[in-house]
Amino acid sequence: MLRIPATMLRRSSRGYCVSKHGTALPKRRISSSLIDIAPEVRETLRHTPQLVVALESTIITHGMPYPHNLDTALEVEQIVRQQGAVPATIAIVGGRIKVGLAADQLRLLARNDSGTQTLKTSRRDMAYVMATGRNGGTTVAGTLLVADAVGIRIFATGGIGGVHREGERTMDVSADLIELGRCPVAVVSSGVKSILDIPRTLEYLETQGVCVTTYGSEDCEFPAFYTRSSGSKAAYNLTSATVAAKMLHMNRALGLGSGILIGVPIPERYAMDASEMNAVIAEALGDAERKRIQGKEVTPFILSAVSALTRGKSLDANMGLIKNNAHVAADIAVELARLENGSSSSSEMERKDDTSLAADGAGAPLIIGGSVIDICISVLEDDLKLDGATYHAKQDSSAGGVARNIAEGIYKIYGNVNLISAVGNDQNGVHIRKLLPEHCASSIVTLGNCPTASFTVLLDRKGDCQLVVGDMEAHKAITPDWIKSHTELIQQSPMTVIDANISEAAMITVFEECIRYNRPVFFEPTDMRIAARPFYSDNAKLTILAKRAIKFISPNIHELAQIAQALHYPGSIPTKSMNEYGQSMSYLLTLDRLDCS
């Protein structure tokens, strides 16, 4: 963990108050010496701060029972990463503010038998929790306070607090509402918890200057956590992540200094019946009053009681909606990064307006090869043995595959790309296609009888690799016939890039078509075991075509050694000397003049 530098905590466009003498005074912020920031989050905040999505920790410490809380926290972080953003779970551990938690810290907060009391921490509690060196699960208000201090602009949660029922008598109003009025952070939630007085909560937010919108709800029907409708209306509806990102951008440009609440309805498959929930909540509230539950203990008590009364259905709904909200928040973060990072030079919008880059991919580079889901399983327990026992672990997954990675990179930099690949008719296939332009779908084979290729690594607690397995069967669907059916992509492309995952027959087809249309081939060797596939002497046709078609190649030193050996390189085969590497590359880059027979 690293401490965030003070320069990252400064704001120049806002954060001032006026003294009694009328002098503008800087708004006090959290001292940077009190904040530890995870390396991944730190680097992202430094280079692309829009991509960081804040996550609260009270949902872990007080919102769900173990192990559901830990599993949900890990899955939510995974969802944010899958969408291309960076999760930053915020909490207090040992009296230190943490922005981005390691797996062992998440587990510490999730378990209630660790011997250390974890306190529900809002703004009012923060000084005490930190001064006494305790652990704290930050509420929406506490998370907003920290997120704003370090420059995070998007925050995903389940539901925010609000005005409690009979709040006009008890004056019980959540600090979440006040903090939303103070911090220019967008909170993506399934509205206000349905145990609260939602109409009065929306009125209070309006007074605080907080813009309240719905997301994907044409009638602006504001959600009520467990149910898709509360009976109250939001002022506006955001139709897409792009529209939401534009609003966040404008909110910052105006220097309003207040937040935005984006209400995302719970997915229909998790939504509960409104009348049933109202009856259950009324019973839980009555129970809380009889037991004299007060203050910050009310919400955890009610949520637990509602879960028991609904026989766990409300817990399933809670887990489902927070995952969906994380997905939406990450999508908005990615769009915000595209909008603001492009505006400083050649923006994505400018690229789309460029007539040289057609919306259907005409004239864009063509990539041919594998699309994979990379899965990394990190065991969180000591003494791992491959003996069939069950171990608690954290799983991270992301879209991968050499060809797919290259295609996504070109798309983000150049603004357009074409990809010939293969995926399964499954969720992983949907995710891979979503990361690329829509027109790529027509050249990606979707297999009904084969899953998307996957690559799984098992790491022990120390991070050492214990097992690697892969299912690459889907790559076989990239056939010569499929490539020939998309010859126009080769003809229109300034360059065709292939990886070594495709078959020799497919390579021959690519080389023949590229030679026919005088298009250069960039060969990415992929792995030392298959790097020399186009150059084996026992397939003379493939080797001859490779020499003519390949103009660029990008091997590492081990892959280069395999290629040099296959091409009967007359000098010493490089192993680790960069001087040898350079000499060998000079030799191999003249492939079209070699006689390798």
Res. 11: pLDDT tops 60: no
Is the CB of residue 224 less than 8 Å from the CB of residue 191? yes
Residue 207 has pLDDT above 90, yes or no: yes
Q: Could you tell me which residues are beta bridge partners of residue 163?
A: 173
Q: Catalytic site residue 193?
A: yes
Mean pLDDT, rounded, for 79-96: 94
pLDDT confidence bin for 350, thresholds 50/70/90: very low
Same domain (yes/no): 419, 337: no
The end-to-end CA distance of the chain, in Å, is: 56
Residue 111: inside a domain: yes
Check pLDDT > 70 for residue 574.
no
**Is the pLDDT score of 351 beyond 50?**
no
Helix residue ranges per DSSP H, 267-372? 274-290, 298-309, 313-342, 348-353
Q: Is 56 a catalytic residue?
A: yes
Say yes or no: 418 and 308 in one domain. no
- Looking at the structure of the chain, the number of domains it has is 2
Dist CA 29 CA 273 (whole Å): 43
pLDDT greater than 70 at residue 596: no
pLDDT of residue 586: 52
Q: Which of 189-203, 215-229, 342-356, 495-509 has the lowest mean pLDDT?
A: 342-356
Give the pLDDT of residue 343.
Answer: 38
Domain CATH number, residue 485: 3.40.1190.20
pLDDT band at 29 (very low <50, low <70, confident <90, very high): confident
How far is C-alpha 439 from the geometric centre of its chain's CA atoms? 23
Higher pLDDT, 201 or 596: 201
Query: Looking at the structure, do residues 122 and 231 belong to the same domain, yes or no?
Result: yes
- Assess whether pLDDT exceeds 60 at residue 591: no
56, 179, 335, 408: which is the annotated catalytic residue?
A: 56
Q: How confident is the model at residue 583 (pLDDT cuts 50, 70, 90)?
A: low
Question: Percentage of residues in the chain with pLDDT exceeding 90?
Answer: 50
Identify the domain containing residue 486 by its residue range.
366-370+413-448+475-593
Tell me the pLDDT of the chain averaged across its residues.
Answer: 84
pLDDT value of residue 8: 42
pLDDT of res. 527: 86
Mean pLDDT for the stretch of residues 488-506: 93
pLDDT at position 576: 57
User: Is 379 contained in some domain?
Assistant: no
For the ranges 304-313, 413-422, 581-590, the one whose mean pLDDT is highest: 413-422
Q: Which residue has the higher pLDDT, 214 or 170?
A: 214
Is 420 in the same domain as 328?
A: no
Stretch 166-179: mean pLDDT, rounded?
Answer: 84
Per-residue pLDDT, 109 = 93
pLDDT for residue 595: 43
Residue 502 near residue 478 (C-beta atoms within 8 A)? yes
Mean pLDDT across 388-397: 87
Position 45 pLDDT exceeds 90? yes
Mark whether 444 and 323 lie in a shared domain: no
Q: Does 152 share its domain with 60?
A: yes
pLDDT at 347 over 80: no
Look at residue 191 and give its three-state secondary structure. Answer: strand
Q: pLDDT per residue over 469-494, tens digit each? A: 889 999 999 999 999 999 999 998 99
pLDDT value of position 113: 63
Q: Per the residue annotation, which of 98, 120, 193, 547 is the catalytic one? A: 193
Q: What is the mean pLDDT of residues 255-267?
A: 95
Average pLDDT over residues 243-265: 96
CA dihedral of residues 194, 198, 202, 203 (deg, nearest 10): -160
Q: How does pLDDT run across 416-450, given as a tens digit for each residue? A: 899 999 999 888 888 888 888 878 888 999 888 88
Residue 479 lies in a domain: yes
- The answer to whether residue 269 scores a pLDDT higher than 60 is yes
Say if 322 falls within a structural domain: yes
pLDDT at residue 274, as a whole number: 80
Distance in angstroms (rounded) separating the CA atoms of residues 431 and 450: 16
CATH number at residue 322: 3.40.1790.10
Question: What is the C-alpha separation between 46 and 34, in angstroms, rounded?
Answer: 19
| More confident of the two residues 172 and 26 | 172
CA torsion 201-28-39-154 (nearest 10°) is 30
Please give the Cα distance from 203 to 207 (Å, whole number).
Answer: 6
Looking at the chain, the whole-number percentage of residues with pLDDT higher than 70 is 86
Q: What is the pLDDT of residue 355?
A: 38
Measured in whole angstroms, how far is the alpha carbon of residue 589 from the centre of its chain? 39
- 329 — pLDDT class (breaks 50, 70, 90): very high
Q: How far apart are the C-alpha atoms of 187 and 32, rounded to whole Å?
A: 23
The least confident of 110-119, 531-540, 541-550 is 110-119
Q: DSSP class of residue 28?
A: P
Pair (72, 193) in one structural domain: yes
Q: Are the beta carbons of 488 and 439 closer than 8 angstroms?
A: no
The answer for residues whose C-beta is within 8 angstroms of residue 363's C-beta and 6 or more apart is 356, 357, 416, 492, 493, 494
The pLDDT value given to residue 195: 74
Whether 70 maps to a domain, the answer reads: yes
Tell me the pLDDT band of 204, cut-offs 50, 70 and 90: very high
Q: What pLDDT does residue 4 have?
A: 44
**Structural domain ending residue among the three candidates 300, 325, 341:** 341
Give yes or no: residues 434 and 299 share one domain: no
> Is 431 in the same domain as 300?
no
Examine the domain organization and report whether 335 and 433 are in the same domain: no
- Exposure of 124 in the CB half-sphere (CA atoms within 13 A): 7
Do 98 and 247 have their domain in common?
Answer: yes
Same-domain pairing of 214 and 66: yes
